[in-house]
Amino acid sequence: MKRERLDKILANMGLGTRKEVKQFVKQGMITVDGQVATDAGMHVIPETQEIMIDGEPLIFKRWVYIMLNKPPGVISATEDSRHETVVDLLPPEWAGRVHPVGRLDIDTEGLLLLTNDGQLSHNLLSPKKKVDKEYFARIRGRVTPEHIAQFAKGIALDDDFTTLPARLEILSSGEISEINVTIMEGKFHQVKRMFAAFDLEVIYLKRLRMGPLVLDDSLALGEFRELTDEELASLGGGSSTTA
Ligand code: URA
């Protein structure tokens, strides 16, 4: 377990900026193991030592795992000079701590995991782990069983990259078709490029699932919640040692 500066712990938990939490210490509002803290830079092990703020215990959580239903128009990044980012949607106690696990295009909606667990993030994104990702899409044009067969073989994309086999399911076929597709990689614009290889345009894209993690359909666009213990266990998270 890591010893950390008291002001950093308090700021990371969203109590205020470093400057503000230093003031709380100055005002004698913070106790550590029952003693009033006088030095904002004192080192504390937040898992084992009891920190109180104005008599209220601080519930410390080192690892944060958030499921977001990403709305269109926001960027899957922690900062951007032009657009709102997915972390801008979160409250301050989380926003400064987490990063998105992979990227969805600005116009793509749906499941996005945000965490400060670098190990879990790596495991989910590593091409070696072949974590499958399922999307719902609306396609301009007719999707046919022939496409299902082609997707199952893997699609040669425009830059000489051939995808791994993908599972395509047709929900409806017509001038606008609706499909579910499951892919095992996460190349830039991958789903759009797989359909573009057949001159088909993805006009709506939503991620439904990443490995065992399924988008909670009670979350409206832009809404988020922490993962449940079951969801976290299914991903193998919570025991990582990297921040
Ligand atoms: N494939 C895409 O084309 N876009 C996404 O956002 C995700 C997968």
String of DSSP letters for 58-112: P---S--EEEEEEPTT-BSSS--SSS-BGGGGS-HHHHTT-EESS---TT-EEEE
80, 105, 132, 216: which one is catalytic?
105
**Mean pLDDT over residues 83-107, rounded?**
93
- Cα–ligand 1 centroid distance for 139 (angstroms): 13
Put simply, whether the predicted model's pTM sits higher than 0.85 gets the answer: yes
pLDDT attached to residue 239: 55
What's residue 42's pLDDT?
A: 97
For atom 7 of ligand 1, which residue has the closest CA? 104
Around ligand 1, the residues with Cβ closer than 6 Å are 104-105, 108, 189-192, 205
CATH for the stretch 4-57: 3.10.290.10
Asked if the model's pLDDT at residue 148 lies above 90, the reply is yes
In whole numbers, what is the pLDDT of the chain averaged over residues? Answer: 94
pLDDT bucket at 159, cuts 50 / 70 / 90:
confident
C-alpha 23 to ligand 1 mean position (Å): 45
Query: In whole angstroms, how far apart are CA 77 and each of 17, 41, 192, 221?
Result: 22, 31, 20, 17
Sequence spans of domains, the chain? 4-57, 65-127+216-241, 132-210
Q: Beta-carbon neighbour count of residue 107 at 10 Å? A: 12
Tens digits of per-residue pLDDT, 55-88? Answer: 999 988 889 999 999 999 999 999 999 999 999 9
User: Has residue 162 got a pLDDT over 90?
Assistant: yes
Total Cβ atoms within 10 A of residue 174: 10
11 pLDDT band (50/70/90 cuts)?
A: confident
Kindly report which listed range (10-14, 41-45, 112-116, 179-183) carries the lowest average pLDDT score. Answer: 10-14
Contacts for 5 with CB less than 8 Å, ≥ 6 apart: 40, 41, 42, 43, 44
Q: What CATH class is the domain 65-127+216-241?
A: alpha beta
241, pLDDT greater than 80: no
Does residue 179 surpass a pLDDT of 50? yes
Position 238 pLDDT exceeds 80:
no
Phi and psi torsions of 152, nearest 5°: -65, -25
**pLDDT band at residue 38 under the 50/70/90 scheme:** very high
Q: Give residue 67's pLDDT.
A: 98
> Is 105 annotated as catalytic?
yes
Contact 32, 48 (CB under 8 A): no
Locate tokens 């030592």: which residue? 49
Q: Does the pLDDT value for residue 242 go beyond 60? A: no
The stretch 118-122 carries a mean pLDDT of 94
Domains 4-57 and 65-127+216-241 share a fold: no
Per CATH, the number for 132-210 is 3.30.70.1560
Amino acid at 39: D
Q: What are phi and psi of 64, to 5 degrees?
A: -120, 130
Q: What is the 171 CA–ligand 1 centroid distance (Å)?
A: 19
From the CA of 104, give the closest atom in ligand 1.
6
The two three-digit tokens of residue 69, written as one number: 């239903």
